Structure 1
């Protein structure tokens, strides 16, 4: 059941009561300002900067002031029960400029591994953030799509950490620290179409100081270990020459005709690729390592976890 409803009520306040309320409010403001010193941040420093509960009527389109949909309006509609049903990539229209933030989204989608495939981040130009990726807990990333899961993204100038249902799953150390980010409802699934995502809500709190503990249930350690135990290296390995068979010592190496390769096509965004496909980018040929839907900024040279040089 969707969890968003709100009501309003009218208040009639007598002059004397109104004066007392004003005095009390002034005292509350002073108390907040005092408690904000040190590690505990004040409310004004961690404020809501984005919120969408998808409370529109059945068949209502996305709010264009909040979202940018890659497709027609019918590709992302509200169901009248507080949820968004979408089958194309959606991103927040404006980047969040605050250096620290916490974003949450409750999502149901069948996909391949990687929480960024459901709820991701791009820089203010719409490019995928480049950097070193550490898998913190592969088991903390359910992918079946049978149930809703709460995805959280906590960012700072030097890291972006994904959590699923309160369990840290992935950490990105950006190559360019401090870039403003925008959120993406990704739909980069397992390469099978049609893809469909149901979203219950998206909300963001941000500020100029480190965020307090996430609002989702957290494990005993509030911050994930910066040294993962299961993270494969994400840097591009040095290009190696293809192995050749050793000829007899008394003969020069035999020259083999080049093997016939499938034709490689130029890489394009918003294209479905499967493992083994060959693409070209800036004169270099790459082989797709994992099925995915290409997005702007996912150039082969930027994502060694999805492409390898041929």
Structure 2
């Protein structure tokens, strides 16, 4: 579903990507343990991490983050983003706190006149970018009509190509009138603003996201992005979802955290909205392997604790891939590559003939860069072929040695759950 919003928050991001300090001159202004990453990502290298440890009231680490300043007319947001630690500071308990206040001590001017609110927005432009990997944050979001927290990414080439050609990956957005729902969305050329490609995820039983910490993540590989909340997959997007429009997500992106007040999508605060409101961020972490296949390797275990196995240890093209007792042989040593492949015996896990139908067998084949050899390994322990949007599956849920593996519609059954070790 598409998020019902206006053209995106362009101006601040474009300015920051160009390396400028801010839109306007600003006067000088004076948690619980992290969730264990999924097995597929656990062996990957951490390329960016901030646990926000430091004294209460201190500013964020300037070697990792820059603070954006100014207002944002593009979405008709009501806040002014301030510098320093006025609206973004550590709490001394391992959290970053971004605070939205109904105040304006600096007499800041916004697109509509004197600003009514202040808040903060941070990004890693010029300090850190990533192409592919797992990008996650553990956060407790605020609540209230007109409150709009976001954790997202922009293409690092925005200063050259503009938005939406730069691409945008929204990992988590919440609008206050939907306390139990978050959204993940892609924006690019021909599918931006209210036409973005995305979906929502809702907590069960009427729970609100503001009541507790939750972990929001994307697992991003070539031609595939998968969104999770607390390890639960709720959407995958591939070039096939774009209807022939350009996929612009195979290049460096930088990370953004912000807390907006008001705007076209969330609407403005009303009498029911209390201030201040706070976005608490326990950590932000990006992990990625080397981007190259090979090296090391380990078993992939599934149903009945058995292993994904190359039949008879043969490296011939077309060799069956099956379930078998784990025995530590090379036929059961698999490497998940940053190029989206899963490899053993020097060859790739392959969907036979590039099929997309339920029941299509998987096999070993020369690595050829085709979509039949692309796999995503999100936090829910699925192994997904994005071209088919189907999961690696044990035929008939049969635990007997030699049972062939296939692709099938993802249903979350035990026959589709795998643990990758390296």
In our comparison, the structure showing a higher alpha carbon Rg is 1
Structure (1/2) with the larger strand percentage: 2
Q: TM-score, normalised by structure 2?
A: 0.37
